[in-house]
Amino acid sequence: MFWKHAFLFEVSYKLLAAAVIYPLFFFLANTGMRLAGISYLTNEYILRIINPYMIGAVIVIALAVTFYCIYELSFILSSYEYERRHADVTFYSNVLIAFYKLKDCLRPANILMNFYYIFVIAAVNAAVLCNLVFTQTTRNLFKIHVLNGGWHILAGIMTGLAVVYVFAFLGIYSFQVFFLEDKSFKQAYRKSAKLVCRHPVRTVGAVVVYNLMVLALIVVIYGLISVVLVLGVKLLDMAYIGSAVYLSVLRSVRYAVKVILVCVSVPAAFLVITRNYYRFMDCNEVDLPIIYIKEKNKKFHRLAYFVLIFASVLLLSVNVVKSFNNNPFEKIAVFHETQITAHRGASMEAPENTLAAFSRAMENMADTIELDVQLTSDGQLVVMHDDTALRTTGVDKSISSMTLEEVKKLDAGSWFSAEFEGEKVPALQEVFDLCEGKIKINIEIKANSDGYAVARKVAEIIRENGAENWCVVTSFDYAALCRVKECNENIRVGYILSVAYGSFYEMKDVDFFSINASFLT
């Protein structure tokens, strides 16, 4: 019965988390950022959060995640204990006893134990550690602050880690003792430390063997993904959109595998530790009551369970659909990976700033396209880098002196190659129509243009297309960026820096900076 109950619980509980906890996390984070006046949470700012709204949001999120995990561990432990006793306990009885014991975790004397044990489970779990350590952000921080900091920094970190792991391993059985033997956190930690000291090799060995198995599974899974990737690339022509869709799906599969590994490995690691605990302890010391449910209430509980599952699936479906065009991680830098921007589209393969170049960028799986806009004499935005049409169309006229109709008659492709003869200068709206839901857009407002009017028009088009979450505006012209913010504060704007000098990071109304890599340290 244990495996049946554990499977039912894990599926339904993780489903509930994806439908409720996950959106709640981003609601609290975004609410805290909005109240604090923060438009974008960088890695540096995370480390020095002092705003009370953000601190409150972080505390609430930490509490929610911690007690979510503690309840999961409580259910697994109660189910395992009832299986050991061969007690005839229903799935719903396990749900109730786990909730009953969760109240003990909320006592002031035991609050610290919840955070501590979640830390322990993470510290001894290879799947969790790999997801935390092997990220671009972590690697960058390690290179900057550790490798460049000298041997004493590295030695200090290694010593600190050793101390932390000793502290974690000594309390590895503390939750089991607390939950099953009705001890306080302090008493539970002491007994756990005694058990570990009596059986150090078997305790550490079980964790090591488990993690080696997890790492082997990770290698196998990612090996299979790599094989599928190579075969797909060989079988598909990389110049076509089909291969781009294939690779995008495969990337999503990789992310899904990472999430599933974490979701499965946390209860699995806890189960390994629990099995060890039962090998070392006296079963007579277990004091876990049984809650029996009356027969007349069983139908109600079953109905409530299925209603909850249905509601979770429905809510999750809505969240997934919304996330296609609204990435909830967009404003939190720590979740970002290195991304590729196609400058003026795939301008090495097609004429710059044309629909052909933007389509080719999507085929090549760029994350963002960068483009430039100019304002025509009749107040329409077209995509053009220069303020005159000479270089890309051969017509020596300024864009501001022509109407949209006149600009659309120009040939913006012949200069590149005969293949693109007749390619038109696109209006900005045409680019939005092409790219929506497929790729993000970075619109640059040229400093030599009528920045005020262009900024107002750009903000207007972004608002009309509901593109605030997948479109940013950049410029060398700070006043133009301020005007965009005045029109729509939800649009993210970036200031392009020619030289990284001075207190530019104190500029208001700027969400990020575009800077040459040579200025980075």
Q: Which amino acid is at 442?
A: N
Over residues 246-262, the pLDDT tens digits come to 666 666 677 777 778 87
> Which tokens hold the place of 44?
């540096």
- The pLDDT score that the predictor gives to residue 442 is 95
Residue 511 has pLDDT above 90, yes or no: no
What's the mean pLDDT in 223-234? 72
- Residue 219 to residue 52: CA distance in whole angstroms: 43
Q: Are strands 471-475 and 341-343 parallel, antiparallel or unpaired?
A: unpaired
> Which tokens hold the place of 337?
């990976």
Instruction: Establish whether 343 is a catalytic residue.
Output: yes
Residue with tokens 């012949």: 414
From residue 496, give the alpha-carbon distance in Å to each of 15, 373, 458, 514.
Answer: 43, 15, 17, 5
What's the mean pLDDT in 173-188? 87
- The pLDDT score that the predictor gives to residue 429 is 95
Q: For the chain, what is the mean pLDDT?
A: 80
Output helix, strand, coil percentages for the chain, rounded to the nearest 5. 65, 5, 25
Instruction: Establish whether 5 is a catalytic residue.
Output: no
Under 8 Å between Cβ of 293 and 96: yes
From residue 328, give the alpha-carbon distance in Å to each of 316, 379, 499.
Answer: 14, 34, 32
15 or 383: which carries more pLDDT confidence? 383
Over residues 59-99, the pLDDT tens digits come to 887 888 888 888 888 889 888 888 888 887 888 788 888 88
- The pLDDT score that the predictor gives to residue 326 is 55
**Which of 53-57, 171-175, 181-185 has the highest average model confidence (pLDDT)?**
171-175
- The pLDDT score that the predictor gives to residue 201 is 92
Residue 500 has pLDDT above 60, yes or no: no
382 or 69: which carries more pLDDT confidence? 382
Over residues 104-136, the pLDDT tens digits come to 777 787 788 888 888 888 888 877 777 766 666
What's the mean pLDDT in 42-46? 52
Q: Which of these ranges, 43-52, 121-130, 458-467, has the smallest mean pLDDT?
A: 43-52
- The pLDDT score that the predictor gives to residue 239 is 46
Residue 440 has pLDDT above 70, yes or no: yes
- The pLDDT score that the predictor gives to residue 397 is 93
Closest CA to 115 of 46, 50, 168, 43: 168
- The pLDDT score that the predictor gives to residue 105 is 79
Query: φ, ψ for residue 520 (rounded to 5)?
Result: -85, 145
- Residue 492 to residue 368: CA distance in whole angstroms: 14
pTM for this one?
0.63
Under 8 Å between Cβ of 211 and 125: yes
What's the mean pLDDT in 174-199? 89
Q: Which of these ranges, 184-193, 283-292, 362-371, has the smallest mean pLDDT?
A: 283-292
Residue 506 has pLDDT above 50, yes or no: yes
Locate the DSSP E strands across 236-356: 341-343
Active-site residue identified among 199, 301, 336, 385: 385
What's the mean pLDDT in 139-154? 68
Residue 324 has pLDDT above 60, yes or no: no
* DSSP letter assigned to residue 342: E
Residues with Cβ < 8 Å from 58, sequence gap 6 or more?
32, 49
* Torsional class of 29: left (φ above 0), alpha (ψ -120 to 50), beta (otherwise): alpha
